[in-house]
Amino acid sequence: MFEVAELGRKLTKQEFDEQSPDLHTRLLQVQRDLAGSGKSAIILVSGVEGAGKGEVVNRFNAWLDSRGIQTTAFWEETDEEAMRPRYWRFWRAMPPRGSIGIMFGSWYTRPIIDRVFNNIDEAEFDRRLQEIAEFERMLTDDGVILIKLWFHMAQEKVQKQLAADAKNHKAKLRASPYTTKFSRQFDAFMEASQHAIRSTDQGGAPWHIVEATDRHFRDLTAGSILHDSLAQQILASAQAAKAPKKRKKAAVSAEPTILDTLDLSQTLSDQDYSKKLAKWQGKLHELSWLARQKRRSVVLVFEGWDAGGKGSTIRRLTQAIDARLYKVISTAKPTDEEAAQHYLWRFWRHIPMAGNVSIYDRSWYGRVLVERVEQFAKEAEWQRAFAEINLFEKQLSEHGIIVLKFWLHLSPEEQLRRFNERKETPWKLHKITEEDWRNRDSWGAYKLAVNDMVQRTSTEFAPWHLIPGNDKKFARVEVLKIVCKALKQAL
């Protein structure tokens, strides 16, 4: 595969100087088009050591308007990064819509290094590459223009370069711990890289291999690829936007859904409630400190009908947990920084460091619930969200995070009773809004959405628990019990 980048192509300085101004102007133009397009671009700068990746990045910064670019270099992970799932550091560096993110090192670096130094076997390597492919598809589906550049030089050129560097004081200062190791492992590195490139060379995010021996040829080629990729995709999305949109009414289920299987008549007496609440809260207190000690995080997701008791159930949990160990994250309207990113970005933001409990009062499931029912998201968007959410939760789970999800269910009659009660209680009045009444009208559509959600996202690593909640006391104890049992099993 890399033979095509060992052809010895060159440009003289004069040729470069002739062609550069035109490319410069066109890049600035396409960057302005990007700013107005609602899309963002990520440029991955990767390739062999000594190929001048840093020089290329400097050139891009000189050609483009630096105000729309952010460059991120991924060095060794910091401890804050190591205490979160692998992709967190990349989510941190995502450029907002309209701008360009240049990434120096990327999600490919770690798997390739791990493979070269035999920390992972071929099967695990393939699994990681598969994960990358899914991750990239998620980005491009969301309108990210992903430009993957690989800078190549023939082995003898690299060796010569590295040998020269080894004698050079300045180059030594910047050598990474891998530089020498790499030069010794050139073949293994090439093989793993080829494998990675081949497995992830997808339609929406193709690889571009750039011959890097001559710096004029290298920079102009990379600049042209950048321009053409941006221009093509901005044009394609502008055309797609012209296609007529049809808005259809949200589907409503006449069939019984999984929610109809719940026994809403279950209750708990006051006395039983006090006893059991104290028992399980005591256990939770202990387990949450144990989780802290073992550096295991817990993510608890609460979804449910309005007035279903999310808030009061969450309070029964937090009462039992030391205030330093938990965070309640209420999912409200995204800020403009959040709206300028993939919808999962704002949840990645709040991923807890190892050893903390994050409780989500509503969550990323908004995508397949309210956004689906109210048609804020297009059908294609919420349809693909199921797989995206599974991928997200799998990454949490693989990092050792315990993920539990609760749907607090009640009957429409009980909801009405609670709405009326809220209207009459001073400190509950703020909890009832026009929107709550409107949502009641869409009960059938929500039921269908919940059914689909549970069917498609209840996984062995992040199961849904449907809680019969007509009796709040019963529901609270039920949730506490499930959380405790899951923690006990996992710790």
**Which stretches of the chain bind a copy of itself, using CB under 8 A?**
21, 24-25, 28, 32, 53-55, 57-58, 61-62, 65-67, 70-71, 73, 75, 78-80, 102, 104, 169-170, 173-174, 285-286, 289-290, 292-293, 311, 314-315, 318-319, 322-325, 327-328, 330, 332, 335-337, 353, 361, 426-427, 430
Number of neighbouring beta carbons within 10 Å of residue 251: 13
Q: Which is nearer to a copy of itself, 55 or 114 (CB)?
A: 55
Residue 136's Cβ-count burial label (10 Å; 0-12, 13-18, 19+) is buried
Smallest gap from Cβ 418 to a copy of itself, in A, equals 17
Q: Which is nearer to a copy of itself, 336 or 424 (CB)?
A: 336
Smallest gap from Cβ 66 to a copy of itself, in A, equals 5
Q: Which is nearer to a copy of itself, 62 or 166 (CB)?
A: 62
Q: Which is nearer to a copy of itself, 346 or 447 (CB)?
A: 346
Smallest gap from Cβ 119 to a copy of itself, in A, equals 23
Smallest gap from Cβ 97 to a copy of itself, in A, equals 12
301: amino acid identity, one letter: V
Smallest gap from Cβ 362 to a copy of itself, in A, equals 10
Q: Which is nearer to a copy of itself, 356 or 415 (CB)?
A: 356
Q: Which is nearer to a copy of itself, 122 or 421 (CB)?
A: 421
Q: Which is nearer to a copy of itself, 68 or 463 (CB)?
A: 68
Smallest gap from Cβ 354 to a copy of itself, in A, equals 11
Smallest gap from Cβ 63 to a copy of itself, in A, equals 9
